[in-house]
């Protein structure tokens, strides 16, 4: 949400005010249900009565680190930054909030953070690698000087490129709202494969 909305909101909503709430799975649904927020973007919806979960497509995920770092380090030694909060109550097989398939291959997690932006700061400083959506890496690279650009690293042997489904959570009554339709258009245009 931070990187999509922070970088692209003005392109789609010139005059509409924006508030971004960083909430975990379960909290997102509760906030929409209680009308604290109008909509939520998630990879891991928690089925909740009276809410609509609009499947918008898939996003491609990649392993990234700062250009010029970790050239001679194998995957097992690569220091990762990962979300502090595990996925809880979600129907997918992803164990971490970032969707890394821990059940298939573990990684060397050196840092844990609440917010992706904190993780990206560690990556930009050359301290860690991160598993993020490709559109986030592209967005970062648009704003970074050449020395700080994020470089994609190959997945470990035996793991195919991961794609995650992305959902918009809304109340059923809001689904046809003009702003919600515009938000769907923005997500599909900027993030989805």
Question: Which of the 8 DSSP states describes residue 88?
Answer: -
3-state secondary structure of 83: strand
Q: Which residues pair with 82 in a beta bridge?
A: 112
Rounded distance between C-alpha atoms, residue 64 and residue 32, angstroms: 32
- Report pLDDT for 95: 52
Predicted TM-score of the model (pTM): 0.83
- Report pLDDT for 93: 45
Tens of pLDDT along the chain (193 residues) come to 676 777 788 888 888 888 888 888 888 999 999 999 999 998 888 889 999 999 999 999 999 999 999 999 999 999 999 998 754 444 544 456 788 988 889 999 999 998 888 999 999 999 999 999 999 999 899 888 999 999 999 999 988 999 999 999 999 877 678 888 999 898 888 888 7
3-state secondary structure of 80: strand
Beta-strand (E) ranges in the chain?
Answer: 40-42, 51-66, 79-83, 108-113, 129-133, 150-153, 163-171
């Amino acid at each position: 949400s931070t990187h999509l909305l922070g970088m692209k909101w003005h392109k789609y909503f010139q005059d509409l005010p924006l508030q971004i709430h960083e909430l975990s799975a379960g909290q997102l649904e509760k906030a929409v249900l209680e009308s604290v927020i109008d909509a939520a973007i998630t990879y891991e919806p928690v089925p909740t009565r009276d809410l609509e979960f609009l499947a918008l497509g898939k996003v491609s995920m990649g392993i990234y680190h700062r250009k010029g770092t970790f050239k001679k380090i194998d995957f097992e030694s690569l220091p990762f930054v990962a979300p502090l909060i595990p996925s809880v109550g979600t129907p997918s097989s992803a164990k971490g909030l970032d969707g890394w398939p821990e059940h298939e291959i573990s990684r060397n997690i050196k840092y844990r953070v609440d917010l992706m932006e904190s993780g990206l700061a560690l990556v930009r400083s050359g301290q860690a690698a991160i598993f993020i959506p490709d559109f986030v890496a592209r967005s970062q690279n648009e704003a970074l000087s050449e020395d700080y650009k994020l470089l994609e690293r190959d997945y470990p042997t035996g793991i195919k490129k991961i794609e995650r489904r992305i959902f918009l959570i809304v109340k059923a009554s809001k689904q046809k709202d003009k702003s919600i339709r515009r938000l769907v258009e923005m997500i599909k245009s900027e993030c989805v494969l």
